Structure 1
Amino acid sequence: MFRNARLSLFLPFLVCVCANGAALAQSLPQPASQNGISYITGGVGEDEVQAFRAAAPGYNLRMTFASKTGSYLSDIDVTITSGAGRSVLSVRTEGPFLFVRLPAGRYQIGAQTRHITETRKIQVPAHGGADLRFYWEDPDRHGVMRVCKSCPDTARP
């Protein structure tokens, strides 16, 4: 009797887990490749964010792009150059995440938005991975100059 009760509770659970796994797999973009380097970019919407979190261990360089106020950013031009100065990857992000599979080694990462470029040097390990986060000033505030430090901030609603 208990066996049938457990089975009747387990089957709906198993169906839900499989359905959620399929939904996550569908929301994850297919990996692209450039110069033999595999990568995924995206992360728009909660389903995609969850899918990227699940896929993260499969990539040894994981980058996130956001404003300093915490808003995620997209359409970031990213270039990855090897330690020898050879261009490895050049891509525009389709969301706040860019996950890349690179051979172990030293790289320089350039990320540009609104004519502002951030550059980082990183060592990608042979085992495990590296996480990079790029932050820019809030796009709505770019170029706003405050003349008076004690004046109220009228640029924000």
Structure 2
Amino acid sequence: MKIINLVMAVTMVLLLPTSVLAEEAMPDTEMVGNITYVSGGIGESEAEMMKGVAKDYPLEIAFVQKLKQKEEFLADVKVQLQDAHGNIVLDVVSDGPYLFANLPQGKYLVIAEHNGDSKRQWVHIQSKKHKKIVFWWPILDQSEIESLLE
């Protein structure tokens, strides 16, 4: 019986740091004007935490590179959100492959830029609805990488 109690106590002590780390994995919510957003998702635990709160935000954006069957998530993507009148409501660089934003209802132009390649997509935010968009970029081959470095 003492062995079982000892094993349980050791297990609890070993699991405690894991739960503490999981709590630390969620990036901080930021605020720009009246827009709150969170960006991140680097590493498995942070990505899972982000996916867990995605539905709490009206807009979910993901950034991916793809070549045939190979996909890689991206960070450091420049993201700009403009309202229907062309006013910039958010202008940030992503801290990971996900960016979630709390936006008022309306139509927005989402502009995402990676390695000088800009993608645009309109999104309509409605009350109590969740919208997910994914921006895809091709994975560069070696010659394309070298030309960027010149």
Matched to 1:43, the amino acid is: G
More strand by share: 2
> Equivalent residue of 1:66, what SS?
strand
With normalisation by structure 2, the TM-score equals: 0.78
Say which of 53, 56, 64 aligns to 1:55: 53
Q: 1:141 deviation in Å?
A: 5.4
> Which structure has the larger Rg over C-alpha atoms?
1
Match of 1:147? none
Paired-residue identity, %: 25
Matched to 2:102, the amino acid is: R
Q: List alignment gaps of at least 5 residues for structure 1.
A: 1-11, 145-157
Say which of 26, 29, 32 aligns to 1:28: 26
**Does the 8 Å CA contact 1:24/1:50 hold for their aligned counterparts?**
no
**Does the 8 Å CA contact 1:62/1:130 hold for their aligned counterparts?**
yes
Say which of 43, 46, 69 aligns to 1:45: 43
Matched to 2:125, the amino acid is: V
Q: 1:21 deviation in Å?
A: 6.0
With normalisation by structure 1, the TM-score equals: 0.75
Q: List alignment gaps of at least 5 residues for structure 2.
A: 1-10, 146-150
